[in-house]
Chains A and B, each alone.
Chain A
Amino acid sequence: MRTIDPIHAIAAKRWGIALTLSALMLVIYLGFILLVAFGKPLLSILLSPGLSLGILLGALTIVCCWILSIVYVLWANRGYDEAVAQAIAAATTGSGKKS
């Protein structure tokens, strides 16, 4: 009944990247938490005086949040926003013709 819906394609693409990045975030954070829970000796290693691996990885988790967010915004700027704008334009002119 439904032919290829361009909006469905846009949605599928967005969910694809959104789920991938969410999964990455989950893996990074759960990885950190699991290390805290099970890898105490590992996280206790001192990389330099005062800097344990645990503190470094904690700070890197925060940096990863920034990086993943910026990756998503760059992805959205590179095509997604334009595709949405085109779909909106198509939908509004389509309704104009009908009425």
Chain B
Amino acid sequence: MSAGSNLLAILFFFVFIALTLGITYWAARRTKTTEHFYAAGHGVTGFQNGLALAGDYMSAASFLGIAGLVALNGFDGLIYSTGWLVGWPIILFLIAEPLRNLGKYTFSDVVAYRLQQRPVRIAAVIGTMAVVLTYLIAQMVGAGTLIKLLFDLNYTLAVVIVGVVMMTYVLFGGMLATTWVQIIKACLLLGGAVVLAILVLAQFGFSPTALFAKAAELNGKQVLEPGTKVVTGAWDAISLGLALMFGTAGLPHILMRFYTVPDAKQARISVVWATIWIGGFYLITFILGFGAMVLVGTKQIIGVGGGGNMAAPLLANAVGGAAFFGFICAVAFATILAVVAGLTLSGAAALSHDIWVNVVKRGHASEREQLRVARIAAVILGICAIALGIIFQGQNIAYMVGLTFSIAASANFPALVMAIFWRRFTTWGAVTAIVLGAVSTLVLLYCGPTIQVDILKHDLAEISKQWWYFPLKNPCLITMTLSFLSGIVVSLLKPEPAAEAGFAEVERRAILGAIPDLGPAAAKAAPAQ
């Protein structure tokens, strides 16, 4: 990578920053209420939200991580490509429409709808923050590593730049700016990936199988077969699969996006568009991964550093030259910015809307105050993101993200589903399901090979003799089951008649939405509305 390609990358990057800051300025003038700050005034169309969801979701791990995993391991990367998509139909069938109809700004609105506000919201914020912070770590570490490699910039400085730009979007432009940053990023990422795939396939007569065949010829037939590097055992595979599938439906920054559309039907349309874009992208990533394996070579990808994450940019350099390399680097950077902005906004919503307004002020806070607290929360989270990015340096980001999904699937998803579907779900059932899900994920993760062997470098044979050793890399299979079971058991042991009585209202509103004739029961059930 010559100085020239670096300059081009920096140029593309500045164009993106200038454009998005311009949008932020435009959005800031429209962001006067919490409804605008959290939900872009519910004025985003289904098609736009589909693109924004794709932009919110397709992280650096999707683009750089999967391409790298496939480039180095072949077939095994496909487990992530498919796993990250299969959660979307689940969101479509079970979550999107009831969520849009029942909630206002956060998914806690839905869980707490007919339950006691304070305990449930505190628990839901624990679930939200656990996901937001671990995901922020993955993204910020990815950003720092990437920018260090691309622009030859100091890691710490890179993390600070990402944090400050992202904070600017969220602080001033709120959801409206974040939405458009995500839409632009999705278009750039999809466009860039398509062009890159076409350039790769052009060298193989536009036949993906010719590319795969060449990869097998160069690196051995095993690159087309399930291997042992990404997934070490059968139970690991299942557990990881569950985490990716149901974790998607428990990501607070994704769930929050459904409030930006005017109604449930638009929420439905937006998931379908998101599924189409994201699925198409993952199909393309597979071509990019094998393309990098063949045209760049595994040796060079490992040699550059970054744990395989440079595979896609290096491929761009190989097939499109310095200009395209610069463009793809800028796209990768934009990718990270869009995701961290969404994460920070959802974290800020949890801290201000759930904790400050509904727990501390019991639903009584002026618009001005709510907006001010939300912005303070965004700044605090931005600073946290920068600090965490600096503390957690040098991990494979695809790995880390898998763990985030495990928390989302074990803490948020069970409570959300039971709150929408199950009549006898209670306040303490919800609290137990969320807290136990989150805590057990962290504990089992710590006692498992991911932390003990990969991070702490303990000897596997030695550590597996310990009584507390947990053999799964991803604990989701156990922790999600535990979360559902504990929620059910606690709810059945101590019934809550008020919550059960409120279920008819939940069922009605999940289908019809917030129509005028909701009666006094609704006002009592959801004081924040």
Q: Which residue of A lies closest to B212 (CB)?
A: A50
Chain B contacts for A58, CB-based, 8 A:
75, 78, 81-82, 286
Given A11-B507, A66-B276, A92-B515, A61 contacting B82 (CB threshold 8 A): yes
Indicate whether A37 sits within 8 Å of B81 (C-beta atoms), given known contacts A21-B89, A65-B88, A95-B517.
no
The interface size bin for chain B is 35 or more
Structural contact, B93 and A72, CB atoms closer than 8 A: yes
Interface residues of A in 54-88 (CB under 8 A from B): 54-55, 58-59, 61-63, 65-66, 68-70, 72-73, 76, 81, 84, 87-88
- Cβ 8 A contact of B89, one of A5, A15, A25, A76: A25
Among the 9-residue stretches B8-16, B194-202, B226-234, B347-355, the one with 4 or more Cβ atoms under 8 Å from chain A is B226-234
Q: Which of B262-313 contact A (CB under 8 A)?
A: 265, 268-269, 271-272, 275-276, 279, 282-283, 286
Q: With A25-B90, A29-B86, A61-B82 known to touch, is A69 a contact of B272 (CB < 8 Å)?
A: yes
Residues of B within 8 A of A38 (CB): 234
Chain A residue at minimal CB-CB distance from B276: A66
List chain B residues, Cβ under 8 A from A55. Answer: 75, 78, 212, 224, 286
Q: Select one of A32, A50, A69 contacting B82, CB under 8 A.
A: A32
Task: Known A58-B82, A61-B86; judge A7-B512 contact (CB<8 A).
Answer: yes
A52-B93 CB under 8 A given contacts A37-B234, A65-B86: no
Sort chain A's interface into a size bin: 35 or more
Binding site for A on B (CB under 8 A): 75, 78-79, 81-83, 85-86, 88-90, 92-94, 208-216, 221, 224-226, 231, 233-235, 237-238, 240-241, 245, 265, 268-269, 271-272, 275-276, 279, 282-283, 286, 421, 504, 507-508, 510-513, 515-517
Residue among B213, B268, B271, B279 making CB contact with A50, cutoff 8 Å: B213
Partner of A52, one of B225, B271, B276: B225
Give Cα A21–Cα B89 distance, bound, in whole angstroms: 8
Contact in complex: A73, B268 (CB < 8 Å): yes
With beta carbons under 8 angstroms apart, the residue of B214, B231, B275 that contacts A36 is: B231
Inter-subunit contact B275/A18 (CB<8 Å): no
A69 in contact with B92 (CB, 8 Å): yes
What would 9 more interface pairs be, CB under 8 Å, given A91-B512, A91-B517?
A21-B93, A29-B86, A30-B238, A50-B209, A52-B225, A54-B224, A72-B268, A73-B268, A92-B516
